[in-house]
Amino acid sequence: MASTSQPNAPLQPVPPLPFGARLHQFWRRVTEGLEVSQLWSQFESEARASYRLYSKDVAAKTPEGLTDRGRRLHVIKEFFWAVFEKLSPARRVLLLLALILLVVPHAGFDYGAGDNHVQFEIDLHFWSALVLLLLLILEIADRVVMKRDLQIAREIQTWLLPGVPPQIPGISIAYHTRPANTVAGDYYDVFPRPGANREEDRVVLAVADVAGKSIPAAMLMATFQASLKTLSTAQVPLVQLAANMNKYACTNSQGGLRFTTAFLAEYDPVQRSLHYINAGHNNPILRRSSGQIERLDVGGMPFGITPEAPYEAATVTMAPGDWLIMFTDGLVEAENAHQDEYGEARLLSAVGGAAAGTPDDMMKRLLAEVEVFVGNTPQHDDITCMLLKASA
């Protein structure tokens, strides 16, 4: 069959959008579709975070015994220097130039004499705004590069943490972490530790918190993960594993400044027992099926303080219906707008209210309660939680 081709219809010009529609489109692009209340909450959160950053420098340099007026002047001066010194020297010069141009509103110039005399004025406010815009562009460029690098670091850190919870006979498990910044110093893991024979196979459970936040803590978290995985391959008791971890941590802790609190445990699926060491970490909560609460507090000092620190281990048995809640201090120390902490009392209440469900259900309820409690208050520390429930 012969085919016939139809000539293409001429393209119709697209009518321009009305001004109101273009304005709405521009506003949505600027705000990424956020409502005014959401924008205000975001601004409030960022302003508080920035205030905490600068106020630390100001508070450290404010002497005692100043009058009210003297204190105000001192705070203003130190706040200026706290902001100013975070710029590079070249950008400090740009900021000074912009401030000078802002203070001096006009500049007049005279050329020639007599009939050839020319006089004109320059509005320096415009040039001040131009210099400030240049400074802003330079700072944004740095932020974009840093944000890209941090995003890569976050992806790498995600690879270091376990994905879907493993299937372990006798227990079900759930875990979650929420960094305060792009990358975190919290660590959790679940992995098998083979023994000399199948009867001696164990499952390692770990929750740890490196002192500090953001990139330095995240780097030490990565070294902690690598050392734990490597040292766990040796056929040594848990106490010796903890001692080896501590000696390794001391080589990277800057004289004890970058210590790590940790809870390490080995679960025996045959005996349904949990052999553990608490190295200065928040005491995990063992909630029995009867509602009785036990704290797992046997252990020793945080890793990285002194190489010869001694460690002790203890063993508990997980009966059907028992819960084990392991967490970092960011969970119980989460603050609301009134600087009240979430606290262990609320944590125990949330656990008790969801004890009949699964670890996934309890995790969702717990995180939702924390989110409601803190509201719009910025998160100041990493939050990590691991939940275990013994099954029949």
pLDDT at position 6, please?
Answer: 56
Model-level pTM? Answer: 0.72
Tens of pLDDT, residues 327-364:
999 999 998 888 899 999 999 998 888 888 999 999 99
CA atoms within 13 A on the CB side of 276: 28
| 138 and 219 fall within a common domain | no
Cβ atoms 186, 179 nearer than 8 A: yes
Structure tokens at 127: 């040039």
Q: Would you say residue 71 lies in a domain? A: yes
| Residue 252: domain span | 165-390
Question: What percentage of residues in the chain have a pLDDT greater than 90?
Answer: 38
| 310 and 353 fall within a common domain | yes
How high does pLDDT run on average in the chain?
85
Structure tokens at 374: 């803190």
CATH number where 353 lies = 3.60.40.10
| 188 and 135 fall within a common domain | no
Burial of 33 (0-12, 13-18, 19+ CB in 10 A): exposed
Top pLDDT among 225 and 61 is at: 225
Average of per-residue pLDDT across 301-305 = 93
Q: Would you say residue 175 lies in a domain? A: yes
Residue corresponding to tokens 């600068």: 54
Domains: count for the chain: 2
| 233 and 327 fall within a common domain | yes
Q: Would you say residue 350 lies in a domain? A: yes
pLDDT at position 218, please?
Answer: 84
- Residues in CB range of 248: below 8 A, 6 or more apart: 227, 231
Its sign, for the CA torsion 74, 80, 82, 85, is negative
- Say how far apart CA 75 and CA 54 lie, in whole Å: 11
| 150 and 169 fall within a common domain | no
> Cβ of 230: how many Cβ atoms within 10 Å?
11
| 185 and 323 fall within a common domain | yes
Structure tokens at 104: 């001096």
Tens of pLDDT, residues 94-128:
999 988 888 886 666 666 565 666 666 777 888 88
| 365 and 266 fall within a common domain | yes
Q: Would you say residue 15 lies in a domain? A: no
**Least confident interval from 32-36, 308-312, 318-322:** 32-36
Residue corresponding to tokens 């401030």: 99
Average of per-residue pLDDT across 4-32 = 74
pLDDT at position 110, please?
Answer: 62
Average of per-residue pLDDT across 317-325 = 94
| 82 and 128 fall within a common domain | yes
| 148 and 273 fall within a common domain | no
pLDDT reading at 7 higher than 70 = no
- Say how far apart CA 384 and CA 331 lie, in whole Å: 7
pLDDT reading at 18 higher than 90 = no
Residue 388's nearest CA partner among 270, 282, 280, 265 is 265
| 181 and 81 fall within a common domain | no
Tens of pLDDT, residues 125-152:
888 889 999 999 988 888 888 888 778 8
Q: Would you say residue 12 lies in a domain? A: no
pLDDT at position 175, please?
Answer: 94
Residue corresponding to tokens 């006089």: 119
pLDDT at position 286, please?
Answer: 96
Q: Would you say residue 11 lies in a domain? A: no
Residue type, 156: I
Cβ atoms 258, 209 nearer than 8 A: no
